[in-house]
Structure 1
Amino acid sequence: MRIKYKALSAALLLLGFTALPAFSAETPKVIEVAKSPLHKNYFEIPVAVVPRAGYNFKKTESGAADNAKKVSLDAVLLHMPYTRLLEEIANDCLKKENMEVKSRSSFIWNGSAAELLKIFQPSGKTVIGKWVLIVDRGADTCWMISGAYSAKDAAAAQAVLDTLKSAWWPSDDTAQQAVSGTLLANVKTEETPFRIAGFRQDSLIYTKDGRIPTQDPDQALYVISHVSGAYIPSEKRESFAAEHIAEVERGAKLEIISQTQESINGLPAIVTVAYTEGEPQSLIYQAAVFKASRVTMLVGIARRNIPQNLESFHKLTASYSES
């Protein structure tokens, strides 16, 4: 399966946080960062960092990367309470993703509660290192800012850490104005068997068992992502939706069962239901919700129990809201 949208391209390669080792309680350290002329904002969230001397970062979909030094920076705004995210990190299991937490520290960072983690994960014949900064932004939101590097490259590890430690953002009032332009997607899972499983860039993934990859027999998942930067006029929305649903299962032939124009939380949407041809048959569900120059994609996939999962996908989409 390949999910391609701008924010979905790596949706199934999530930073799959599972169980962290136990850490002793500590008094949070206080970090106050003053903005300097060297600060640069590579992200969609209002966070600026100072790149280390000698690094030449270029913008990417989710942040920036120095390909020569094999270092990347990413940041995402999560519509999830900070405390809940920390609970999920502490209660799940990193071992199934072969992830190892090397260190974890608590901070009061620019006035906000924050956690800084160092994580190693095997990737083929190499090991990827990642510094991850999680910041409480209140109002049921938090930021995750991360930097990836080769775990064998101590200089790169230090450079990424120094870069993250330079993270600055405006005061809460100014930041709230900046964040207000970022689309926050939220669905209610109470009446469905789905729960949040993970995240990557601007995507949230829901599965029945809260795992990625899911171990549920249905192999069902529901993905929320965004496509930014292009206004889609009403006469082109159906073709836009058709083009994108064809990319959900790259190479699979789809039988379109229905494609309808609907209103979701007051916003125009194209809802498409399709089956893959041949056996075993899979359900592909997609709701494209249009607002200004941004499209929110709500995508559901299920391998079994198609009628029940389709009903759940409809319920999740009907509960969609922006906040």
Structure 2
Amino acid sequence: MRTAGGGHGEKLTALAQENPLQAEVLKLRRRWELASVLNFLDVFGPVIGRGLKLSAEDIELGLIKPDASLAHLHVVLLKGMPPVSKKLDEPDAWVTELCKKLTLWWPWVAEGKIPIVPSKGEEISKYKELDPLDRLLLLKALCEVRADHHDVVSYIKHALNEGTELSAFRKEAFGGDGKGTFYWYDASAKGHRLYKEIITLNSKTQVNGNKSCSLPIISSQWETLASNLEEFSRVAGEFSSSNIAAEVVLGKKIQRDAIPPLERLHKKKVRQLKRKQSKEALSSRTNDTSPAVSEQVGVRRSKRLAGVRSQSIMESRGLTVNQILRQRPIRNSAIPSVVLDSEDED
């Protein structure tokens, strides 16, 4: 049995009072099921559908407050699992189809009791009332069912036959201390994440008649250590200066393998943001121009380009010419003075 989380109740309670949304995000990031879903969507993207462009943050927010992105994700997964209902594209119909599919598969792909079952349409409103963690478990189970279908299985076999390493489908630990602590690094279009997993092994005594036996119970505490460049840089710095040799090695691996692609991604986002701001500024200046002024300028320009002079310009130019024609210099005078015509003299 595998359980996640635990030991962080006080911190979550304090965070929930300050920032409820961030507290819910933190709860999701302390579940290994979320990491599994993100990895599944990345690895089998070519089979599921390349048009499914959702970031890890989009999925997290959708699980907290169901939205169109979460609905689209479920519809895409369900359409790859025949028979496909003709009502699947109707609003919220995917919730009913989800319940029908998972009711049959749940014992094979999940543990415990299924959070929701078909209930004559009432399951739609009940789904929206579920805890985000329950919605995550349903999504994780759906991914497990989707992975069992023919197209996904064929995709794996074909890739392995072509020489693809098994690690492309079965994630390998990024590092560990050899004492039950493992680190996992996942980099994809969905986002970059660094996880820490602490596995503990306990025993439970079970009595059957006159005999008793000890059953191993595996518990797992999961945590998302970093999800952006700033957090990766901080973790790398802390590990590099650690007194634990395994953490020092991990810090160097983060600096070598994780930081460079994150820096390139950050620079790309900065360039995109600058281009967006430039376009918005240009659009703002265009919109701020007075319509009346723009119209007058446009009229003058259009007349000038067409070779047409406005009446006011022609009249003023005619007056200037007449004044020049009515003026004559005085003979034998070095001083450039002007006298009036005889008809104007006294």
TM-score normalised over the length of structure 2: 0.28
Highest CA radius of gyration, 1 or 2? Answer: 2
TM-score normalised over the length of structure 1: 0.30
Higher strand share: 1
Higher helix share: 2
